[in-house]
């Protein structure tokens, strides 16, 4: 425990991401949030989402990587070499759907299939396979790359949403700590007033000016406020520990807040922006939850395009240019040119397929469109939910501002009443009971004011959370 407190006190003096935490005893909210952003485990986990997106894109682009391949068969039976057939080469996928290949094949043996006869030194092959209808402009490989790019945006939205939620939780714990700190101070001040009054009344009793019952009543008031103060200290300790859950250091070392550290004032309030701007679709579209759903919709649109591609006939053409050994120039050509290369020593073919009923294709397309409808419904619902949350938070802040103003006036009036009651008590026209009642009422009024100010601070940040602006 002492080590953790010492560590935290040390960290208050070291730079953090270009800034330095104030070395005074006040732990500002922004400094606290900066520690959360840098060291909290959830923030580190959220950062992994970016790495995942890059890995996903790298994997998708791997479909276009050139590939080396080799194949070899050897058959020997009854001391006879039936055949030895092999090939090795390089296959190069392209973004335009065509596949290129460079191959060297060889074959020999006593029982070769005549179709496998090759020149003695083997045969080099330059091949090209092109889809003419299906997969010409769009295919699975290109779809995976596009979806991986959208996945990166989706993960960024998820990361922002995680950060948004984490910071709101941290902010609420901070202001609960601030309230517990102020409440402890108020009860401590009330106990001090009761102890001072007891000293004065006791002195007056010894001089014969006050009855003994006044000293008893003053002592009871001290005991009541001691109980209140002990409870306030327990609440402060609980709030401090809950806030410490958000404080970490390098290598996931937990950090505790020392008792002498204090929060910033509850009266520091932020001016609220015009709420009407949140009706702008561009502002709503920047919300991380909306961006996540929009990214999902984009992925579904890519899937739909791929499913629609499956309704086209598959017609692929293959052309392989054959060499005599490694020489692609035909020996019969007098003045070899491109036409001679293409018309002699070649192998070509066509592959065709077309589904007749399309049940698989129709079912896949229908499923994707249902998913699009479902996701679009979520987007509309989320938009309405965000707008309503923002309006509710803004309206709550405006109401709290009025309540805080009235509560401050009530506190000032209670202070005047207590001053007047003290004066009446001094001249003997009041009692200890009335004075204690006035004082307790002032304490309750001040606590209510602090509670409202705490609620107002939390609600102001909740408004920014509803906008998706905490980061």
Does residue 325 fall inside a structural domain?
Answer: no
Length of the chain: 471
pLDDT at 200: 78
Q: If 0-12 CB within 10 Å is exposed, 13-18 middle and 19+ buried, where does residue 276 land?
A: exposed
From the list 55, 50, 20, the residue with the least C-alpha distance to 35 is 20
- As beta bridge partners, residue 20 has 15
Does residue 400 fall inside a structural domain?
Answer: yes
* pLDDT tens digit sequence for 59-85: 999 988 999 999 988 888 887 888 888
Mean pLDDT within 194-221: 78
In which band, very low, low, confident or very high, does the pLDDT at 22 lie, cut at 50, 70 and 90?
very low
Mean pLDDT within 317-333: 77
**Alpha carbons 245 and 124: distance in angstroms, whole number:** 68
From the list 62, 143, 53, the residue with the least C-alpha distance to 368 is 143
Evaluate if residue 14 carries a pLDDT over 50.
Answer: no
pLDDT at 343: 64
Evaluate if residue 291 carries a pLDDT over 50.
Answer: yes
Residue 254's SS3 state is strand
In which band, very low, low, confident or very high, does the pLDDT at 271 lie, cut at 50, 70 and 90?
low
In which band, very low, low, confident or very high, does the pLDDT at 330 lie, cut at 50, 70 and 90?
low
Query: What's the domain count of the chain?
Result: 1
Is there a contact between 192 and 205 (Cβ–Cβ < 8 Å)?
no
pLDDT at 339: 60
Q: Determine if the pTM surpasses 0.85.
A: no
Evaluate if residue 206 carries a pLDDT over 90.
Answer: no
Mean pLDDT within 227-245: 93
Residue 192's SS3 state is helix
Does residue 208 fall inside a structural domain?
Answer: yes
Evaluate if residue 276 carries a pLDDT over 70.
Answer: no
CATH label of the domain that carries residue 226: 1.20.1600.10
**Alpha carbons 187 and 169: distance in angstroms, whole number:** 27
In which band, very low, low, confident or very high, does the pLDDT at 17 lie, cut at 50, 70 and 90?
very low
Mean pLDDT within 407-430: 87
* pLDDT tens digit sequence for 92-126: 998 888 999 999 988 888 877 777 778 878 888 89
Does residue 115 fall inside a structural domain?
Answer: no
Which token pair is 445? 């009024």
Structural domain that includes position 282: 2-39+143-298+372-467
340 to each of 105, 276, 337, how far by Cα in Å?
Answer: 22, 73, 5
pLDDT at 282: 67
pLDDT at 6: 41
Is there a contact between 320 and 385 (Cβ–Cβ < 8 Å)?
no
User: What angle do the packed helices 359-426 and 432-467 form, to 10 degrees?
Assistant: 160
Mean pLDDT within 295-299: 94
Is 295 or 434 the better-scoring residue by pLDDT? 295
Evaluate if residue 422 carries a pLDDT over 50.
Answer: yes
Does residue 427 fall inside a structural domain?
Answer: yes
Mean pLDDT within 218-241: 91
**Alpha carbons 9 and 255: distance in angstroms, whole number:** 10
Does residue 289 fall inside a structural domain?
Answer: yes
Q: Where are the beta strands (DSSP E) in 42-199?
A: 67-77, 80-93, 99-108, 123-131
pLDDT at 66: 93
Q: Which residue has the tokens 């970016």?
A: 50
pLDDT at 11: 47
Q: Using DSSP, how many helices (H) and how many strands (E) does the chain show? A: 10, 12
Mean pLDDT within 262-278: 64
* pLDDT tens digit sequence for 142-167: 999 999 999 999 999 999 999 999 99
Does residue 243 fall inside a structural domain?
Answer: yes
Is there a contact between 249 and 239 (Cβ–Cβ < 8 Å)?
no
In which band, very low, low, confident or very high, does the pLDDT at 45 lie, cut at 50, 70 and 90?
confident
Which token pair is 311? 């309704």
Residue % of the chain over a pLDDT of 90: 41
User: What angle do the packed helices 29-39 and 140-206 form, to 10 degrees?
Assistant: 140
Evaluate if residue 7 carries a pLDDT over 50.
Answer: no
From the list 80, 93, 146, the residue with the least C-alpha distance to 306 is 146
Residue % of the chain over a pLDDT of 70: 87
Is there a contact between 50 and 78 (Cβ–Cβ < 8 Å)?
no
For the chain, the average pLDDT equals: 84
Lowest mean pLDDT segment, chosen from 6-20, 87-101, 322-336, 439-453? 6-20
Does residue 66 fall inside a structural domain?
Answer: no
Phi, psi of 179 (to 5 degrees): -65, -45
């Amino acid at each position: 425990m002492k080590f953790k407190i010492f560590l935290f006190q040390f960290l208050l003096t070291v730079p953090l991401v270009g800034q330095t935490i104030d070395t005074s005893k006040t732990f500002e909210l922004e400094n606290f949030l900066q520690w959360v952003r840098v060291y909290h485990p959830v923030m580190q986990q959220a950062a992994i989402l970016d790495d995942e997106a890059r890995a996903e894109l790298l994997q998708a682009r791997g479909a276009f990587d050139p590939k080396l391949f080799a194949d070899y068969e050897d058959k020997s039976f009854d001391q006879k070499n039936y055949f030895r057939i092999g090939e090795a080469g390089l296959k190069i996928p392209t973004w335009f759907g065509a596949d290129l290949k460079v191959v060297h094949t060889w074959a020999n043996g006593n029982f070769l299939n005549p179709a496998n006869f090759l020149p003695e030194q083997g045969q080099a092959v330059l091949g090209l396979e092109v889809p003419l209808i299906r997969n010409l402009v769009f295919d699975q490989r290109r779809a995976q790359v596009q979806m991986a790019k959208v996945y990166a945006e989706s993960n960024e939205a998820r990361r922002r949403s995680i950060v948004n939620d984490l910071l709101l939780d941290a902010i609420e714990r901070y202001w609960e700590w601030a309230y517990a700190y102020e409440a402890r101070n108020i009860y401590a001040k009330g106990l001090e007033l009761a102890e001072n009054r007891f000293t004065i009344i006791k002195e007056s009793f010894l001089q014969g000016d006050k009855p003994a019952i006044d000293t008893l009543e003053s002592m009871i008031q001290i005991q009541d406020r001691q109980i209140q103060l002990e409870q306030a200290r327990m609440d402060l300790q609980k709030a401090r520990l809950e806030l410490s859950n958000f404080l970490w250091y390098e290598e996931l070392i937990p950090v505790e807040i020392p008792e002498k550290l204090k929060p910033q004032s509850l009266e520091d309030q932020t001016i609220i922006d015009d709420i009407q701007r949140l009706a702008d679709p561009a502002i709503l579209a920047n919300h991380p939850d909306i961006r996540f759903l929009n990214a999902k919709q984009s992925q579904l649109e890519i899937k739909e395009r791929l499913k629609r591609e499956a309704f086209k006939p598959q017609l692929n053409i293959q052309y392989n240019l054959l060499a005599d050994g490694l020489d692609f120039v035909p020996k019969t050509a007098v003045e070899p040119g491109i036409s001679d290369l293409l018309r002699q020593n070649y192998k070509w073919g066509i592959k065709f397929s077309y589904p007749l009923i399309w049940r698989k294709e129709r079912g896949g397309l229908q499923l994707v469109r249902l998913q699009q409808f479902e996701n679009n419904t979520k987007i509309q619902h989320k938009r309405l939910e965000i707008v309503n949350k923002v309006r509710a938070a803004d309206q709550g802040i405006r109401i709290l501002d009025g309540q805080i103003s009235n509560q401050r006036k009530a506190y000032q009036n209670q202070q005047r009443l207590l001053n007047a009651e003290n004066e009446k008590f001094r001249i003997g026209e009041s009692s200890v009971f009335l004075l204690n009642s006035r004082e307790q009422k002032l304490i309750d009024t001040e606590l209510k004011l602090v509670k409202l100010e705490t609620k107002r601070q939390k609600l102001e940040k909740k408004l920014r959370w509803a906008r998706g602006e905490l980061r």
